[in-house]
């Protein structure tokens, strides 16, 4: 892929819309994973305007969703969709269940989503520049969904998962601080991040050094390490997150 590619996306109901732009003419290739999360298996059928996916769940239910592009794909297989993008010719995507948004609505939907986000997105000025925005951007990149516990949370970093969707680790201090910093931009997911590490606490209240991770399955068969913990920063992070959600009446 040549050039710098930028993606803008937003959600609308059970669908998502996106726009790809590029600094140079290029073909963007979207990989189609047969199994994204364990037990979430999809089979793809190429279509003239994109691809149709049929997903089988663990309870034998089946869901059908579609991905369409404009311009139409340069090529489509059961494992990849390739779309041409150029500086003066962005590519637009719509995907989801049921009826999909019209392509001529994509730009308006993205503009509305951007306006809504910027209205609440934290920013900072001064000698350090917009360091708060940088924190939010990095944390948003570490926000993931895990199907084994069915929650969205901030992991310590996508690379630690080693490519396994349900292996994104929770670390003691790191997760508490991630939950605290996430409160600047996304306090609800910040709260869920804190709850995620607390859900692995020992009956005596010992918060694990790490959890939801199997760096060595033979050594850590329960996917956690209770052999040591760290000083109790968690209470402060819980308080700050709660005060953000509750507003000025709980702030100190």
Read off the pLDDT of residues 158-185 as tens digits, 9 standing for 90 and up: 889 988 889 999 998 899 999 999 988 8
Please compute, for residue 136, the number of CA atoms within 13 A of its CA located in the half-sphere on the CB side: 16
Tell which of 96, 120, 144 closes a domain.
Answer: 120
Same domain, 37 and 90: yes
User: Is the domain of 90 the same as that of 147?
Assistant: no
pTM, 2 dp: 0.81
- Do 92 and 156 lie in one domain? The reply is no
The residue assigned the tokens 């949370």 is: 153
Helix %, strand %, coil % of the chain (to 5):
30, 30, 40
Across 94-102, average pLDDT: 93
Query: Tell me, what's the pLDDT at 194?
Result: 93
Residue 126 lies in a domain: no
Residues 53 and 144 in one domain: no
> Could you give the residue ranges of the DSSP H alpha helices within the chain?
106-120, 131-141, 172-182, 187-198, 234-246
Residue 241: is its pLDDT beyond 50? yes
**Percent of the chain, pLDDT > 70?**
95
Same domain membership, residue 105 and residue 73: yes
Residue 216 in any domain: the answer is yes
**Are residues 66 and 25 located together in one domain of the fold?**
yes
Q: How many domains does the chain have?
A: 2
Query: Does residue 125 sit within a domain?
Result: no
225 and 152 in a common domain: yes
Q: Does 137 share its domain with 115?
A: no
Q: Which of 59, 94, 120 is the last residue of a domain?
A: 120
Write down the mean pLDDT value for the chain.
Answer: 88
The per-residue pLDDT for range 32-90, each reduced to its tens digit, is 988 888 878 889 999 999 999 998 877 788 889 999 999 999 999 999 999 999 999 99
Q: Which pairs with CB-CB distance under 8 Å and at least 24 residues apart come from 68-71?
A: 68/93, 68/94, 68/95, 68/100, 68/103, 69/93, 70/103
Integer Cα distance of 177 and 138 in angstroms: 13
Q: Do 108 and 191 sit in the same domain of this protein?
A: no
**Same-domain status, 234 and 186:** yes
Looking at the fold, whether 242 and 142 belong to one and the same domain comes out as: yes
Q: Which domain does 185 fall in, by range?
A: 131-250
End position of a domain, from candidates 120, 139, 156? 120
Q: Could you give the CA distance from residue 81 to residue 36 in angstroms, rounded to a whole number?
A: 16
**112 and 216 assigned to the same domain:** no
Is 240 a member of any domain?
A: yes
Rounded to an integer, what distance in angstroms lies between the CA atom of residue 204 and that of residue 75? 57
């Amino acid at each position: 892929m040549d050039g710098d590619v930028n993606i803008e996306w937003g959600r609308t109901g059970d669908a998502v819309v996106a726009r790809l732009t590029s600094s140079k003419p290029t073909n963007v290739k979207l990989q189609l994973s047969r199994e994204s999360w364990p037990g979430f298996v999809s089979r793809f059928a190429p279509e003239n305007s994109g691809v149709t996916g049929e997903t089988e769940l663990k309870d034998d239910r089946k869901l059908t969703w579609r991905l369409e592009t404009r311009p139409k794909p340069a090529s489509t297989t059961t494992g990849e969709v390739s779309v041409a993008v150029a500086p003066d010719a962005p590519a637009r995507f719509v995907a989801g269940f049921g009826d999909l948004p019209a392509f001529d609505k994509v730009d308006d939907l993205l503009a509305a989503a951007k306006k809504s986000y910027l209205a609440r997105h934290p920013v900072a000025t001064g000698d350090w520049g917009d360091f708060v925005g940088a924190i939010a951007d990095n944390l948003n990149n570490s926000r993931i969904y895990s199907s084994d516990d069915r929650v969205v949370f901030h992991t310590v970093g996508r690379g630690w998962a080693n490519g396994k969707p349900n292996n994104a680790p929770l670390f003691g201090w790191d997760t508490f601080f991630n939950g605290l910093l996430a409160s600047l931009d996304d306090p609800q997911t910040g709260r869920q991040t804190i709850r995620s590490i607390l859900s692995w606490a020992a009956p005596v209240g010992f918060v694990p050094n790490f959890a939801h991770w199997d760096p060595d399955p033979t050594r850590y068969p329960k996917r956690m390490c209770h052999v040591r913990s760290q000083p109790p920063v968690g209470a402060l992070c819980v308080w700050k997150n709660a005060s953000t959600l509750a507003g000025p009446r709980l702030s100190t």
